[in-house]
Amino acid sequence: MEYKQVQYKPGKVTQIIFNRPEYLNAQSYQMLAEADQAFTAAASDQNCGAIVLSGAGRAFSAGHDLGTEEEIQYCREHGLTVPTDGDLPKKVADMHEWFVKKTLDWRNCPKPTVAMVHGYCIYAGWMLAAATDVIFAAEDALFLPGMVEYFSNFCRRGCSVSSRHGRILLHPLGHGAAQGQRNPPGASVHYGG
């Protein structure tokens, strides 16, 4: 597959980089399709030991693409609803497929996954970051999760983030993280001030 909105760098530590810096990596359907292909390729690559998800430019992801020209064109070419469509049942079906099902697939990836968050991580950006096993947040990371926490089951996934007073809280993952084994209660590590 040719990647345009994602950079795919295979290796022992495979990198999947959102590559729409001009839109602060707002998630278009094309970017999600390419990310899905990249996750699938990395998961089946015997040389890949872990996957790191990040964003090019000054943000991890500022959320959903709410209607750029290229997003509207891609949606029309691929039979997806555009943000202004009034066909609510079709829109809900598309959203479920791309924003829930695909993200759950990535959450259940058989390889350990890490999100390297910097800059904005807003709504849909948080949805993707929270689907990884571990989140590392740069000092400039700004989180704005949605009102519904799709994938933020920290006891199961082993990750919690707090940015108060420059402090980041992460629950560490053990060897069995990719197999969904839980961490012991209270296991956490504090980083920062």
SS3 content of the chain, % helix, strand, coil (to 5): 35, 20, 45
Tens digit of pLDDT for each residue in 81-111? 987 888 889 988 988 898 888 888 988 999 9
Cα 191 from Cα 79, distance rounded (Å)? 45
Find where tokens 């926490």 sit. Answer: 149
Tens digit of pLDDT for each residue in 112-125? 999 999 999 998 89
Q: What is the pLDDT of residue 192?
A: 37
Region for 107 from its dihedrals, namely left if φ exceeds 0, alpha if ψ lies in -120 to 50, beta otherwise: alpha
Domains of the chain by start residue, with CATH: 6-156 (3.90.226.10)
> Does residue 87 contact residue 80 with C-beta atoms inside 8 Å?
no
Tens digit of pLDDT for each residue in 122-161? 988 998 998 999 999 999 999 887 655 555 444 344 444 4
